[in-house]
Amino acid sequence: MVAQDAHAHSAPQGFIRKYIFSLDHKVIGIQYFFLALTAVFVGMFLSVLMRIHMIWPAASLPLVGEIKPETYLSLLTMHGTIMVFFVLTTAPQGGFGNYILPIQIGAPDMAFPVLNMLSFWTTFVGFVVILAAFFVTGGAPLHGWTGYPPLSALQSAGPGEGLGADLWITSIAVFCVASLMGALNFITTTLDLRAKGMTLMRLPLTVWSWFITAILGLLAFGVLLSAGILLLLDRNLGTSFYVPLVIVNGQVMGHKGGSPLLWQHLFWFFGHPEVYIAILPGMGVASQILSTFSRKPIFGYKAMVYAMLSIGFFGFMVWGHHMFMSGMSPYSAFAFSILTMCIGVPSAIKTFNWLGTMLKGRIRFHTPMLYAIGFVSLFVSGGLSGPFLAQPVLDIPLHDTYFVVGHFHLIMGVAAIFGIFAATYYWFPKMFGRMMNETWGRVHFFITLAGTYAIFMPMHYLGMAGQTRRYSEFTQVAYQAKLVPLQTFMTYAAIITITAQFIFVINLFWSMFKGPKASDNPWEATTLEWTTTTPPPHDNFGGVTPVVYHGPYEYGVPGAPRDFVMQTDPATVSTH
Amino acid sequence: MADATLQHDSVHGLPGAYEAPLFGAYSKKVGMWLFLASDSLTFGALLFAFSYNRLYTTPWPTPFHAQSIANATVMTACLLSSSLTMVLAVFASQRGDRAWTRNWLLATMVFGTAFIVLHGMEWSKLIGEGLTIPGFPRPASAAAGELADVSKNVPQFPATFFGLTAMHMLHVTIGVIYLGVVAFRKWFLPILGVLWIAGYILIPSDNVFHYGIHALLLGLIISAVILFLKPKDYDAHDVEVSGLYWHFVDLVWMFIFPLVYLMSTKIR
């Protein structure tokens, strides 16, 4: 344990201490952000290779050559893993959480700055290790991001299951350690470093979402760490935790008596909370932005907090709904099914509160607002198929089809990505001191929203038509021939959508250097990060600790001089 | 509460600028509690793996004789005594008695080391009698006998036994190094180096601990980095936080001892 008493550190001198091994949560947040940006482009590149291979299986591509079926499985595995761990977990929590959370609660830094730095660099090592899996003998592993044994547990099970799979598991284990360090830092900071007056019910919903996400991460990643260690033992020391008696290529393997289901239980006990780790920060950001740009208080602040808490709570009790296919007892399946549908209740509360926030608001359609609305839209579209999949009786036929692929991409993939985009457009002025280009932001938004629906909506129809997922080639399969035109359409949509992301990157880097200078509070928002200078000084508030008198979403308060009351405004007007 | 607030402010050096911490504890203590929450889930997953295997493998072997149990009981006594000395170390540090803080910490480390050494001898004995997993270097004597049969017929038994106890042994080792750093700071590094080299030379190469001893080298490097980053004098708070960790490691043993030893005993 490196326990640091922090904050004592003064502004660092020299390039390395200032930008590379920095203790400043703001620099670390930006490091996380760019790590995730790199990762998302790697992941996107892999996905477009998969889409191209699906409809033109024989095509020879520049750089990668012809994609073989096993290469397709490697692409699938690495796309999933990189996206889930190094984008959806890293960007919202490590990136924006790190940068914004301490400022929003009025702290000069995280509670343990050294641990924060270690957390980032450990994540970085994990990313390098997982990328290394592409370049070793046999290539990247084939077992999917869920890593089900026996495929993942046997060295001889496939071309990527040698060193590549070891690197994959090592990377995941390293990532677990990094996430644990990050999570306990976030929780301690929120508990201990809130400015005077920043009571729990005055925390911005973003802080609540990062806080709850950190609790989920703290409890979930420890389990994955154990599961990964046992998998490494099975692979390298010949134990049989996950491997029953198996025969590969006519040869009896040395394992005996293990249970692949044990891995599924441990993995999904982590895996389901992981879904909420990805989406909860997006919910927080959406709440923040919808309230700010509707110029209205968030509808049902407390309900939002309790909804997030109950989503986090139930998130730990529903892992079995990923395992309906495993021959689970119908009684357990029934329990998991009911608990899963319970999550629909807080999710609906959140959705209606977002709509209620916008209702009769004076909405300003800036890019962050568009993305927040896009988030709500995708959350609803992806979420509605959730209660269907929560029924074992429907899940069993649908689980291995594109229906599930469409479902989780909409809700946990793209909705979370929209949360990240919203956060980027919203906090960019604070982070880099300049405004992003609005016009290109809107162009980017509309292409991305339309493209997203064009890619993932048809997957639901494909799934209901019975097209199985994970298969690399189906163009020559007679009974699936009628579905190929739809797949082709999705591939074109994917290529267009991915190309449109370069608009975002160019806008990001161009605005970083050439954009118009941002004022301290360009969105006329109320939370603490907008009370300090842009970008914030090393200790966030220039040596003073702010004092909070108001709740986080005081817009349109009667009797106030402006249409918003900042949290640090003197207590002359009565608010929450 | 007032006392906690005072500690909190003195830790952060900014008197009165913050809301009172939610649990009335200073940050390092909260951080350690959170780490322990996470670590208990890590051990929880291993215990789940053990129970899961045990429940669906019938019959689960019960090969341990009275000798193993006697040995494990002595080990348990060592750990329990170490918890007592740890408490005394925390008390000593809170009344500002530096000499006795160090003495009690040293006693805790001695008990912890005794636990590790006894546990290592126990492992070596069991491996010699045939309780092995395929990845271990295996002495010639391990080929036959009751435990060799158990390893062959129910590979889950040695796998869960060594998995759980190795994870726990690793935690105890980390704990001893942690206490050593708190008690002796940089003077602990050469001690650790000597232990590492002596262990590597003295333990025969067909023993797993010949390689396992490298954990001490890793501990040496990490301790050196921490001491380089924070070359400070550790105070009563640090002793208390290290105590939390130590008691947790003891507590975990109180689950492992009955589950993997007492419940796997041959009763005649």
Determine how many CB atoms are found less than 10 A away from the CB of residue A481: 11
pLDDT bin (cut points 50, 70, 90) of residue A5 is: very low
Q: In the predicted model, is pLDDT for residue B12 greater than 50?
A: no
User: For chain A, which residues make up each domain, given as ranges?
Assistant: 26-530
User: C-alpha distances in angstroms, B267 versus A325, A510, B51, B241, B262?
Assistant: 41, 76, 20, 41, 10
Indicate the pLDDT class of residue A576, thresholds 50, 70 and 90.
Answer: low
Q: What is the mean pLDDT of residues A299-314?
A: 96
Alpha helices in A56-158 (DSSP H): 69-81, 98-105, 113-132
Domain ranges, residue B169: 26-264
Give the minimum alpha-carbon distance from B103 to chain A in angstroms, rounded to a whole number: 22
Q: What is the enclosing helix (H) or strand (E) of A183?
A: helix A163-192
Q: Is the predicted pLDDT of residue A7 greater than 70, yes or no? A: no
Closest CA to A290 of A211, A399, A364: A364
Of B42, B136, B160, the CB nearest to A223: B42
Cβ contacts of A184 on chain B, cutoff 8 Å: 31, 34-35, 38
CA distance B169 to chain A (A): 15
Is B4 within the bounds of a domain? no
Nearest Cα neighbor of A495 from A81, A61, A47 is A47
User: Which pLDDT does position B16 carry in this prediction?
Assistant: 65
Using a 10 angstrom Cβ sphere, with 0-12 exposed, 13-18 middle and 19 or more buried, the burial of residue B156 is buried
Mean pLDDT of the region B144-150:
85
Contact A221, A179 (CB under 8 A): yes
CATH class name, domain A26-530: mainly alpha
Label residue A10 by pLDDT band (50, 70, 90): low
Q: Which two tokens stand for residue A205?
A: 């919903």
What are the tokens at A65? 């050559």
Is it the case that residue B13 has pLDDT exceeding 60? Answer: no
CB of B25 within 8 A of CB of B4? yes
Give the H/E segment covering residue A220. Answer: helix A205-236
B32, two tokens: 């350690």
* pLDDT greater than 50 at residue B9: no
Residue B9 lies in a domain: no
This prediction's pTM? 0.93
Residue-averaged pLDDT of chain B: 87
Distance CA A428, CA A442 (A): 15
pLDDT of amino acid A138? 87
Q: Is the peptide bond before A150 cis (omega within 30 degrees of 0)?
A: yes
Q: Does residue B11 lie in a domain region? A: no
* pLDDT at site A156: 86
pLDDT tens, residue by residue, A439-462: 999 999 999 999 999 999 999 999
Residue A460: per-residue pLDDT: 95
Distance from CA of A414 to the nearest CA of B (A): 29
Mutate to test the interface with A, among B30, B34, B149, B171 (most CBs of A within 10 A): B34
In chain B, how many domains are there?
1
Find out whether A547 and A195 touch, Cβ atoms under 8 Å.
Answer: yes
Q: Binning pLDDT at 50, 70 and 90, where does residue B135 land?
A: confident
Structure tokens at A321: 């709904």
Q: What is the secondary structure of A4-39 as a DSSP string?
A: ---S-PPPP-SHIIIIIS---HHHHHHHHHHHHHHH
Identity of the residue in B14, B21, B135 whose CB atom sits nearest the CB atom of A545: B14
- Looking at beta carbons, which residues of chain B come within 8 Å of A269? 45
Choose the weakest-confidence range: A62-66, A189-193, B185-189. A62-66
| A106 neighbors A545 (Cβ within 8 angstroms) | yes
- For residue A1, pLDDT beyond 50: no
Pick A7's closest partner by Cβ from B12, B41, B52.
B12
**Are residues B155 and A198, on separate chains, in Cβ contact within 8 Å?**
no
SS3 annotation, chain B = CHHHHHHHHHHHCCCCCECCCCCCCCHHHHHHHHHHHHHHHHHHHHHHHHHHHHHHCCCCCCCECHHHHHHHHHHHHHHHHHHHHHHHHHHHHHCCCHHHHHHHHHHHHHHHHHHHHHHHHHHHHHHHCCCCCCCCCCCHHHHCCHHHHHHHHCCHHHHHHHHHHHHHHHHHHHHHHHHHHHHHHHHHHHHHHHHHHHHHHHCCCCCHHHHHCHHHHHHHHHHHHHHHHCCCCCCHHHHHHHHHHHHHHHHHHHHHHHHHHHHHECCC
- Supply the CATH number for residue B226's domain: 1.20.120.80
Strand, helix or coil for residue A557 = coil
Which residues lie closer than 8 Å to B118 by C-beta, 6 or more apart? B71, B74, B75, B78
What is the predicted ipTM? 0.91
The verdict on residue B165 lying in a domain is yes
Backbone φ and ψ for B12, nearest 5 degrees, come out as: -95, -5
Reference A418, options A531, A266, A285, A219; nearest CA is A285
- Secondary element (H or E) of residue A357: helix A330-358
pLDDT, residue A570, reads 85
pLDDT of B6 > 50? The answer is: no
Angle of helix A260-294 relative to helix B27-56, nearest 10 degrees, comes to: 140
List, for residues B42-53, the tens digit of each pLDDT value.
999 999 999 999
pLDDT over threshold 70, residue B4: no
Q: Higher model confidence: residue A213 or residue B227?
A: A213
Shortest CA gap B231–chain A (Å): 12
Residue A295 and residue A354: Cα distance in Å, rounded? 13
Q: Residue A526: which of A571, A561, A558, A563 has the closest Cα?
A: A563
Residue of A101, A319, A84, A340 lying closest to A209 (CA atoms): A101
Is residue A129 predicted with pLDDT exceeding 60? Answer: yes
Q: How many whole angstroms separate alpha carbon B170 and alpha carbon B245?
A: 13
| Cα separation, A80 vs A72, whole angstroms | 12
B52 vs A contacts (CB less than 8 Å) = 259, 262, 265
DSSP state of A433: S
pLDDT of residue B66: 85
- Burial class of A216 by CB neighbour count within 10 A (0 to 12, 13 to 18, 19+): buried
User: What local confidence, expressed as pLDDT, does residue A59 receive?
Assistant: 84
> Smallest Cβ distance to A111: which of B31, B133, B229?
B31
**Which of A138, A133, A135, A144 has its CA nearest to residue A166?**
A133
